[in-house]
Amino acid sequence: MKAAQRLEKTHLETTIAAAPSNRVISVDVLRGLTIMLMILVNNSGDAAYWPLHHAQWNGWTPTDMVFPTFLFLMGTAMVFSVRARMAQTGNASSMIPHILRRSVILFCLGLLVNTFPYFHMDTLRIFGVLQRFAICYLVISLLLLWNSKPALRIGAILFVLASYWALMRFVPVPGAGLPVRDIPLLDHDQNLAAWLDRLILPARRLYEGTRDPEGLLSTFPALATTMLGTLTGEWLVSHRSKRHKALGILAAGVVCALLAELWNPWFPINKKLWTSSYVLLAAGWSLVFLALCYWAVEIKGWKKGWTYPTLVFGSNAIVAYVFSELLAPLVGMRFNLSGSPTSIGKLATSALAGLHTSPEFAALLYSLLYVLVCFVPVLVLYRKRIFIKV
C-alpha cells in the first residue's frame, strides 16, 4: 500500500513538474506598475498636476483608472492561481478554506488601514479599497470553482452592468424621487447608491459623509471588473500564438473603451459610483496597457532593467499598498518644531518647494520620493525571496 502511495505521489509530482508554466511576466509587470501609480496618486497632495487628481464627479482622469486596473489584474491572476492549486490538489472544495481565509485577512487589513493610527472605533469606516478587493476576490473565486465556463461570466457581466444602470436610472430614490424626472441622474448625494450607504451605516462611518465611493451597491459592478479580468486570464493561458493574444487583448480594449464612450451620455462615466460605462472604460484602459506590456515583455523580450522595480512591487503588491497607507498618517502626524506645528510631510514638501520649482513639480517630486520610500521594504523582501501572499 505504501509503495503504491509513493508511486502515485511520484507520478503526481512528475505530472506537475512536466506541465508547462502558465506564468505571464507582463501581468506581474503591469500589477507592479499599477501599485506604484496607486501609491503615487494617493500621496500627490493638493498641488499635483491634474492627471494625478481624481475627477470631481462625472468624467475621468488617469488617476481614476488605477484602482480598477488592479482589480482587473486580480481577476486575471485568479485564473493562474486557481489552475495551479487545482493541479496540486485536484479538489475544488479543498481551496475554499484558503479563499475564505485570504478574504477575511484582506478585509481586516482594510479595517486596520481605515482606523490607524488612532483606532477611533466609533468612527471606523467599514468600506474601503482592501475591503472591495476582499469581496471581489471571495465572490469571483467561488464562482470560478463552482463553474469555470466563460459563458456564465459573460452573461453575469452583461446582467450586472445592465441591472446597475436600470437601478440607478429607473428606481426612485426614497425621499428624493425618480432620477431624470425629479432629480438629476447620478445626483451627487441623491442617488440610490448613496441612499443605501446612509441606510445601512451612519454618516460618521462613510468616507464622504453622505456616501462612500466603495459602498455596497457599487461593489456589484466592481465584480464585473474582476470577471473581465478572469476572461483575460483565460485568453492568456489559451494555446493561441503570442501575437494573436496581444492583438486580441488590444482589440478588446479598444472595443470596451468605445462602448464606454457610447454609453456615457446615458450613464455617465463616474468612478465614485463605479458606473457601468466606467467599468467598460477601465477595462479598456487595462486591456490596452496589458497588450502593450505583453508585446514588450513576452514578444519583444524587453525584460531587463525597466521591469525590475515593477516586479519588486508586483511580487508583494498588497504589502506595498498596506505599508504606504499606514505610513501616510504617520508622515502627516503633527508635532511642534520651534513653537510651530508641522509634520514630516510638510517639512519634505517645504524643502522640495525651496528648489525653486513650480508647486506642481514639487508635489510630483514628493510623490516620487514617497514611492521610493515604499520601495525599500518590498525590495528587502524580494531580495530575500519572501513573497507574502495575503
Model pLDDT for residues 329-382, shown as the tens digit of each residue: 998 888 777 677 877 877 787 787 777 778 888 889 999 999 999 999 999 999
Provide the pLDDT confidence category of residue 288 given band limits of 50, 70 and 90: very high
The closest of 28, 21, 65 to 294, measured between CA atoms, is: 28
Percent of the chain at pLDDT > 90 equals: 75
138 backbone dihedrals φ, ψ, rounded to 5°: -60, -55
Q: Is residue 158 part of a domain?
A: yes
Query: What pLDDT does 18 receive?
Result: 32
Provide the CB-side half-sphere exposure for 273 (13 A, CA). 30
Q: What is the distance between the alpha carbons of residues 165 and 160, in angstroms, rounded to a whole number? A: 9
Q: Is residue 210 part of a domain?
A: yes
Q: Is residue 198 part of a domain?
A: yes
Q: What is the distance between the alpha carbons of residues 92 and 85, in angstroms, rounded to a whole number? A: 9
Mean pLDDT of 82-88: 79
Mean pLDDT of 205-210: 93
Provide the pLDDT confidence category of residue 158 given band limits of 50, 70 and 90: very high
Provide the pLDDT confidence category of residue 236 given band limits of 50, 70 and 90: very high
Q: Has residue 11 got a pLDDT over 50?
A: no
Provide the pLDDT confidence category of residue 257 given band limits of 50, 70 and 90: very high
DSSP characters over 27-48: HHHHHHHHHHHHHHHHT--TTS
The closest of 263, 210, 275, 234 to 64, measured between CA atoms, is: 275
Domain, as residue range, for 254: 54-300
Query: What pLDDT does 359 receive?
Result: 85
Q: Which residues contact 302 (CB under 8 A, 6 or more apart)?
A: 296
Query: What pLDDT does 22 receive?
Result: 57
Provide the pLDDT confidence category of residue 148 given band limits of 50, 70 and 90: confident
Provide the pLDDT confidence category of residue 15 given band limits of 50, 70 and 90: very low
Query: What pLDDT does 20 receive?
Result: 38
The closest of 219, 231, 249 to 148, measured between CA atoms, is: 231
Q: Is residue 103 part of a domain?
A: yes
Q: What is the distance between the alpha carbons of residues 43 and 366, in angstroms, rounded to a whole number? A: 8
Q: Has residue 283 got a pLDDT over 90?
A: yes
Query: What pLDDT does 280 receive?
Result: 98
Residue 38 C-alpha cell reads as 496607486
Q: Is residue 346 part of a domain?
A: no
The pLDDT tens digits of the residues spanning 29-48 come to 999 999 999 999 999 877 88
Mean pLDDT of 148-171: 95
Residue 345 C-alpha cell reads as 510631510
Does residue 183 sit in helix, strand or coil? strand
Q: What is the distance between the alpha carbons of residues 148 and 92, in angstroms, rounded to a whole number? A: 11
Residue 134 C-alpha cell reads as 476582499
> What DSSP designation does 274 have?
T
Q: Is residue 367 part of a domain?
A: no
306 backbone dihedrals φ, ψ, rounded to 5°: -65, -25
Amino acid (one-letter) located at 176: A
Q: What is the distance between the alpha carbons of residues 267 and 179, in angstroms, rounded to a whole number? A: 12
Q: Has residue 19 got a pLDDT over 60?
A: no
179 backbone dihedrals φ, ψ, rounded to 5°: -55, 145
The closest of 229, 233, 228 to 79, measured between CA atoms, is: 233
Q: Has residue 324 got a pLDDT over 50?
A: yes
Least confident of 45-49, 55-59, 313-317: 45-49
> If you average pLDDT over every residue of the chain, what do you get?
89
Q: Which residues contact 175 (CB under 8 A, 6 or more apart)?
A: 195
Amino acid (one-letter) located at 115: T
Residue 378 C-alpha cell reads as 518590498
The pLDDT tens digits of the residues spanning 100-140 come to 999 999 999 999 999 999 999 999 999 999 999 999 999 99
336 backbone dihedrals φ, ψ, rounded to 5°: -90, 130
Q: What is the distance between the alpha carbons of residues 38 and 17, in angstroms, rounded to a whole number? A: 36
The pTM is what?
0.90
- H-only helix segments in 43-149: 66-89, 96-115, 129-146
Per DSSP, which regions of 262-387 are E strands? 335-337, 340-342
The closest of 372, 367, 375 to 312, measured between CA atoms, is: 375
Q: Is residue 107 part of a domain?
A: yes
Q: What is the distance between the alpha carbons of residues 141 and 219, in angstroms, rounded to a whole number? A: 15
Query: What pLDDT does 147 receive?
Result: 84
Q: Has residue 196 got a pLDDT over 60?
A: yes
Query: What pLDDT does 1 receive?
Result: 40
356: left (phi over 0), alpha (psi -120 to 50) or beta: left
The pLDDT tens digits of the residues spanning 291-314 come to 999 999 999 998 888 999 999 999
State the residue for C-alpha cell 442617488: 191
Q: Has residue 209 got a pLDDT over 50?
A: yes
Query: What pLDDT does 30 receive?
Result: 96
Q: Has residue 12 got a pLDDT over 80?
A: no
Task: Tally the domains of the chain.
Answer: 1
